Amino acid sequence: MERPRPCEGPGGRAARASLCTKNTSAMVSRTLRKERRVQQTMTSGKRLLLVVEDDSFRRALGEQLRAQEDFGPVDEVTSLAQALERAATAVFDLLLVDLGAGEGAGGGETVCRALREAGIEAPLVLLAGPGAPPPPTDLGPVERVDKPVRLGALLALLRARMKAKEGGGEESFIVGPYRFQPADKMLVGPGEGRSLRLTEKETGILAFLCRAGGKAVDRETLLHEVWGYGAGITTHTLETHIYRLRRKMEADPVKARVLLTEDGGYRLGS
């Protein structure tokens, strides 16, 4: 008499059916993930994963990012578990993580480390409060942006990092006699010893003016883009930063030829 196979003994058929169901579910899950990744590569724009615990801050930042024509979908999550779940089903070009997000004392660092351990290699940008420690060096490419977030500087950094990821090098602009490198917060001039370090706000101002294509940008727009909405900053603060920029950039700050005042705002000279 033929001996029954182990899975055909008492309860064997049920066990085999359960195993087959699990294998089928796993296969379907892998197939769906692969299809989503293929679809993502065909989507225009760059996909961002935004991991921010605070609801109002996350929604406001998400809206600003979606308003940019060169960005693709922006996925919003509030926790490490959600971030890992979302990252398992889609390919992201950049991860934007609030250091206050995530369970435990590690906050955003815990989120970033877990994403790295899950095999996610996209560039990371950490949003950090004043006095937060620098990001660990073992997390791969990581940038830190201090809060309150200056939108102009943040957008310049995101674009530079995504362009570098594509292999096209970091984004740069020609500003007068200088090459402006937003990601490095630097103006590189002709000859040795002509590199000028910029502050975060100076970088944000120049980055927004560069994208204006030589057109004048009014003071209120610059304030909103660089300092953020509701920051309570006056135009005097902007004028002070423009003054400092001219002292760095211009051969004669009194007779500016690069950073020009025009129509109630500023523009870059041709």
pTM of the model: 0.49
Assess if residue 59 is contained within a domain. yes
Q: Coil, helix or strand for 86? A: helix
Q: Are residues 132 and 197 in the same domain?
A: no
Assess if residue 158 is contained within a domain. no
Q: Quick one: which H or E segment has residue 243?
A: helix 235-249
CA-CA-CA-CA torsion sign (259, 262, 267, 270): negative
Q: Are residues 202 and 244 in the same domain?
A: yes
Pairing of strands 186-188, 178-181: antiparallel
Q: Are residues 142 and 226 in the same domain?
A: no
Q: Is 66 buried (19+), middle (13-18) or exposed (0-12) by CB count in 10 A? A: middle
18: Cβ–Cβ under 8 A, 6 or more apart, which residues?
none
- pLDDT at residue 43, as a whole number: 40
Q: Are residues 126 and 182 in the same domain?
A: no
Assess if residue 166 is contained within a domain. no
Q: Are residues 222 and 186 in the same domain?
A: yes
Q: Are residues 197 and 236 in the same domain?
A: yes
Q: Are residues 143 and 184 in the same domain?
A: no
Assess if residue 183 is contained within a domain. yes
CA-CA-CA-CA torsion sign (132, 147, 140, 189): negative
Count: domains in the chain: 2
Contact yes or no for 125/143 (Cβ under 8 A): yes
> Beta-carbon neighbour count of residue 219 at 10 Å?
17
> Beta-carbon neighbour count of residue 145 at 10 Å?
17
The CATH number covering residue 118 comes to 3.40.50.2300
Q: Are residues 115 and 67 in the same domain?
A: yes
Side-chain-side CA neighbours of residue 137 (13 Å): 0
- pLDDT at residue 6, as a whole number: 44
Residues of the chain short of pLDDT 70, as ranges, are: 1-45, 99, 101-108, 131-138, 140-141, 164-171, 191-193, 229-232, 270
The CATH number covering residue 232 comes to 1.10.10.10
Assess if residue 260 is contained within a domain. yes
Q: What is the pLDDT of residues 155-207, one digit of tens each?
A: 888 887 777 666 545 567 888 888 888 877 888 887 555 788 898 889 889 98
Assess if residue 222 is contained within a domain. yes
Q: Are residues 138 and 52 in the same domain?
A: yes
Q: The tokens of 204 are what?
A: 């944000």
- pLDDT at residue 170, as a whole number: 58
- pLDDT at residue 174, as a whole number: 84
Alpha-carbon distances, residue 179 vs 84, 170, 172, 191 (angstroms): 39, 12, 7, 12
Assess if residue 17 is contained within a domain. no
What is the span of the domain harbouring residue 228?
Answer: 173-268
